[in-house]
Chains A and B, each alone.
Chain A
Amino acid sequence: MITILLIVVPFFSGVVSFFIKDDRPRRALIAVCSIVHLIMAIAVFNFYNKTQGPLAEWFGFDDIGIIFLLITSVLFSGASFYGIRYLSDEEKYAHGGVKGRGLFSPEAVFGGCFQIFLSTMTMVIASRHLAIFWVGIEATTLASAPLIYFHRTKMSLEATWKYLLICSVGIAVALLGIFVLAVANNNRADLFLARLIENANCMNKLWLKAAFLLLFVGYATKMGLAPFHAWLPDAHSEAPSVVSALFSGALLNCAFLGILRAYQICAAAGLGPYCREVFTVFGLLSVIFAAIFILRQGDYKRMLAYSSVEHMGIMSLGIGFGGIAVFGALVNMLGHSLVKAGLFFSAGNILSYFRTKRIEDVQGLMSGKTRRLGVLWMLGFLLITGTPPSAIFFGKLIILRQALSAGFYAVSIIFLAALVIIFIGMARIVIFMTQGENTCQARGDDSYNVKGLTRLCVPAVFFAIAIILGLYFPDWLTGILESASRSLGGP
């Protein structure tokens, strides 16, 4: 029952948001919706394995799903509190001065789609049926496309179109994969995950392999694994920072879940080693791609986007190495979601202050009024590149240890080299941005200021959680991560 509510409440609250004319009550509704969702998610956490209800066969949470749900819900709460402040700060800059053309105002569309986006992500995480999972993933694309176009600029429109088309086509490939999987399951269109895992042994191996590849390519497009990541940097740089944070921290994870579901079925059919090879190849490719593109990046939000490609690659590598690395991949995912969301929030603050995404126009973050912002930006950079103590460092360490003990020496060396290059590339950019004289104040142009403590507090809290997780892992979290990694082929 509560599972269904988790999906339905944000959906209806989103639909209602479209029709609220005034901005303030709509923003309040977003905050309320996020809090309700978070409370329900925590409630589900206590008894998720025993959910009963009319649609329990279709929707429910398992050990893996509950982790994704918690991440999504926490991130969305942070994003909504940051977001309502962001929306009121951006009022005079947003929509290129156009207000209220068409049926709904741009902010009404944003508020509505924002909550429907949460609903669709929850639906993806909760679904126990592969086709419904697909429907959910496609719905996330459609609900979030208008969010990218919030600022009503030409560039954001270009990014929206690329996102819509590339993701829709990619996901269509995944749908073909689902049908091929049904063929492998002796032409039965019975796509409930639990039953597929049960029947996995009787499936046709050739068709199952084909299905896994199609599903992998389809969902990897959405997840942003190289070389299918074409939409990702554009969408992340053009979307409002709140949305970029949710994309990076929550949406990409949802797509990853799709690949993990396919992997679960294949592993049950004894195709584990074959799938792990695929994970390793594309994971490594993503890390390499990210390293190449971060090195000469001119846009700090694109830099963060490529860092997301890198982390998706690391998670994929973790699954590919198998063993304890699966646990590492999940820890890395946890850390990445928190830190990357915090970084995108900080990037939003920088963008609000400097009104530019070009790195060379932003200098002196550590001086003047933006001092706190600069500290956060630097801290976020250190955390995301895996400086201890943080959950990301912990995750990377586990993955690397498994890689070495399982004998993936060549892969490990390339992996480490790419990580070093990414560290240098990002350090160069971040140090340039934080040091020197504040360009905005030098121009005498600081009429625009980032108001409100929320916009600094939310990223700070996220960073703090990531650091704490690096020092101390609570037992309940370890337990849930361990049982999740067991169902993904871990020890």
Chain B
Amino acid sequence: MGHWLDFIGVTVLLMNLMALSSSRIKSCVRIVAAQGALIGCIPVIKYFPCVAPVTVIFPLTNIILKGVVFPWLLLRALRAANIRKEVEPIGGYPFSLLMGVAIFVLSYWVISRVSGPGQPASVLNAAVSFATFFTGAYIIVSRMKAITQVIGYLMLENGIYLFGLVYLKEQSLLVEMSILLDIFVAVFVMGIAIFHISREFDHIDTEKLSQLKDIMATGQDL
């Protein structure tokens, strides 16, 4: 079982790097969806023989939402916005990829040094969970399109969920479900917002969303 979990960990990590190096938004959406679904499989593998509501209902909803519903919502918003490619990020894609690797190395270094009750079942997966979290955060700050930022947000959530799986014994169903519901509504509302942005502005570049500023434009005095 352990080697299966490690296999998932490595795949999740590779998906982080793929999302970082891909300029096609459609494939980014699919990568993050696959990542979410893959992480959703972990509890199924972990508790494989025993069948309880928590071990069946929740993972199933989780996998369906993250693997099917979210990408569907996002791809719909993408069609409405009529774009395919992300703008070149700061430093280009090779630099992004390097950042991804650096984030993982740093996460691994931190995790392997921390002691205490948080001795995870698998150091690799713990490091991957942190790396996924920070890769998501990095995508949010380095990419320009609104939709890519949502992808980053989902990746960040994937990282948190993986963290919970690695470190914690099972959660109550109510809690898991309500967190999932929140994320679902978040993606839904963000999808609507992207739709409105593309209609109002004819683009979804958040870099150009910069009308709201603080200091008086011409420096005139009252």
A residues engaging B (CB < 8 A)?
Answer: 129, 131-132, 134-135, 138-139, 141-142, 145-146, 149, 154-155, 157-162, 164-165, 168-169, 172, 175-176, 179, 182-184, 186-189, 191, 204, 206-207, 233-234, 237-238, 293, 296-298, 302, 359-360, 428-429, 432
Contact = CB atoms under 8 A, between A and B. Distances in A.
B118 A204 contact: yes
A187 B156 contact: no
Nearest to A302: B214
A167 B146 CA distance: 15
B171 interface: yes
A169 B156 contact: yes
Given A145-B193, A161-B209, A131 B118 contact: no
Interface of B: 114-118, 133, 137, 140, 146, 149-150, 153, 156-157, 159-160, 163-164, 167-172, 175, 178-179, 181-182, 185-186, 189-190, 193, 196-197, 200-201, 206, 209-212, 214-217, 220, 222
B167 A161 contact: no
A183 B185 contact: no
Contact of A191 (B114, B170, B175, B189): B175
Contacts of B117: 183-184, 186-187, 204, 207
B200 A359 contact: no
Residue among A129, A168, A237 with most chain B CB within 10 A? A168
7 contacts: A138-B186, A157-B197, A158-B210, A172-B157, A183-B168, A359-B222, A429-B222
A158 B179 contact: no
Contact of B216 (A132, A159, A164, A296): A296
Contacts of A179: 160, 163-164, 167-168
Contact of B140 (A165, A176, A237, A293): A165
Mostly, the B contact residues are helix
Contacts of A161: 146, 193, 197, 206, 209
Contacts of B189: 142, 145-146, 164
B92 to A, nearest CB: 24
B172 to A, nearest CB: 7
A169 B200 CA distance: 24
Given A182-B167, A302-B214, A360 B118 contact: no
Nearest to B221: A360
Contacts, number: 136
B178 A168 contact: no
B163 A157 contact: no
B163 A189 contact: no
A172 B156 contact: yes
Contacts of B149: 165
Contacts of A165: 140, 149-150, 153, 190
Contacts of B178: 131-132, 135
A204 B116 CA distance: 7
Nearest to A130: B175
A188 B160 contact: no
A297 B214 contact: yes
A362 to B, nearest CB: 10
Contact of B190 (A135, A164, A296): A164
Given A157-B197, A172-B153, A206 B168 contact: no
B71 to A, nearest CB: 18
A169 B179 contact: no
B64 to A, nearest CB: 20
Nearest to B156: A172
Contacts of A168: 153, 186, 190
A219 B214 CA distance: 24
B158 to A, nearest CB: 11
Contacts of A182: 164, 167-168
Nearest to A191: B175
A139 B164 CA distance: 21
B222 A432 contact: yes
Nearest to B215: A296
Given A155-B211, A206-B116, A189 B197 contact: no
A204 B119 CA distance: 12
Contacts of B222: 359-360, 428-429, 432
A207 B116 CA distance: 8
B140 to A, nearest CB: 6
Contacts of A155: 211-212
Contact of A175 (B150, B160, B190, B211): B160
Contacts of A169: 137, 140, 153, 156
Most chain B CB within a 10 A radius of its CB, from A158, A191, A204, A207: A158
A317 B7 CA distance: 48
Contacts of A149: 193, 196
A133 to B, nearest CB: 11
Contacts of A191: 175
Given A149-B196, A157-B196, A186-B117, A360 B211 contact: no
